[in-house]
C-alpha cells in the first residue's frame, strides 16, 4: 500500500491527507464560533444589531491582525462562496408558496429594487476608488 496512501508531498514536506481534508472543518468551526460570539454579545449587551453581523465584524478585526487565522478560514470561505447559490434555493422555493403576500407587497419590492440597485453601484464605485486611492499612497 505504501505511505503515499496516507501522505502526499507538498512543498517538500509530507502532509497527512486526513489533516488536509479537515481544514475546512476547522475554518467552519471558527466561523460558527464568531457567529455565536456575536449573538452572545448582542444578547448580553442588548445591542440592536444582529448577532451574526457583530460576530463577522469581530472576525474581520481579528483577520486583519492574524495571518494564521486567515489561512485557517480561507479554504472554508472559498468553499462557501463557490457554493453560495445553493444557499438561496430554500428561500426561492419558499417564495413559490407566498405568491399572495408577494403580490400584495410587489410595489414595495419593485421600488426597493429600483432604488437599491443604483445606490449599491454608486457605493461600490466609491469604495473601489477609496481602496485604490489608499493603495497608491
Q: Are residues 10 and 51 in the same domain?
A: yes
Q: Tell me how far apart the alpha carbons of residues 42 and 49 are, in angstroms, rounded to a whole number.
A: 7
Q: Are residues 45 and 91 in the same domain?
A: no
Last residue of a domain, one of 82, 101, 125: 82
Domain count, the chain: 2
Q: Tell me how far apart the alpha carbons of residues 75 and 72 are, in angstroms, rounded to a whole number.
A: 7
Q: Are residues 75 and 35 in the same domain?
A: yes
Average pLDDT, integer, range 104-122? 95
Q: Are residues 66 and 21 in the same domain?
A: yes
Q: Tell me how far apart the alpha carbons of residues 73 and 60 are, in angstroms, rounded to a whole number.
A: 11
Last residue of a domain, one of 67, 82, 97: 82
Q: Are residues 76 and 101 in the same domain?
A: no
* pTM, to two decimals: 0.60
**Exposed/middle/buried for residue 137 (C-beta within 10 Å: 0-12, 13-18, 19+):** exposed
Q: What percent of the chain has pLDDT above 90? A: 54
User: Could you tell me the residue range of the domain that residue 74 belongs to?
Assistant: 1-82
Q: Are residues 66 and 123 in the same domain?
A: no
E strands in the chain:
7-10, 13-16
Q: Are residues 61 and 4 in the same domain?
A: yes
Q: What percent of the chain has pLDDT above 70? A: 84
Average pLDDT score, the chain: 85
The residues facing 15 across adjacent strands are 8
Amino acid at each position: 500500500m505504501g505511505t503515499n496512501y496516507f501522505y502526499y508531498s507538498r512543498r517538500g514536506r509530507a502532509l497527512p491527507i486526513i489533516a488536509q481534508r479537515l481544514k475546512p472543518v476547522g475554518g467552519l468551526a471558527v466561523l460558527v464560533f464568531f457567529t455565536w460570539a456575536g449573538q452572545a454579545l448582542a444578547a448580553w449587551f442588548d445591542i440592536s444589531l444582529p448577532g451574526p453581523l457583530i460576530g463577522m465584524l469581530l472576525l474581520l478585526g481579528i483577520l486583519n491582525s492574524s495571518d494564521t487565522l486567515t489561512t485557517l478560514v480561507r479554504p472554508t470561505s472559498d468553499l462557501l462562496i463557490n457554493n453560495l447559490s445553493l444557499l438561496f434555493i430554500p428561500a426561492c422555493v419558499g417564495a413559490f408558496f407566498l405568491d399572495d403576500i408577494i403580490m400584495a407587497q410587489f410595489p414595495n419590492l419593485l421600488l426597493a429594487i429600483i432604488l437599491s440597485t443604483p445606490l449599491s453601484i454608486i457605493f461600490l464605485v466609491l469604495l473601489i476608488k477609496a481602496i485604490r486611492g489608499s493603495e497608491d499612497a
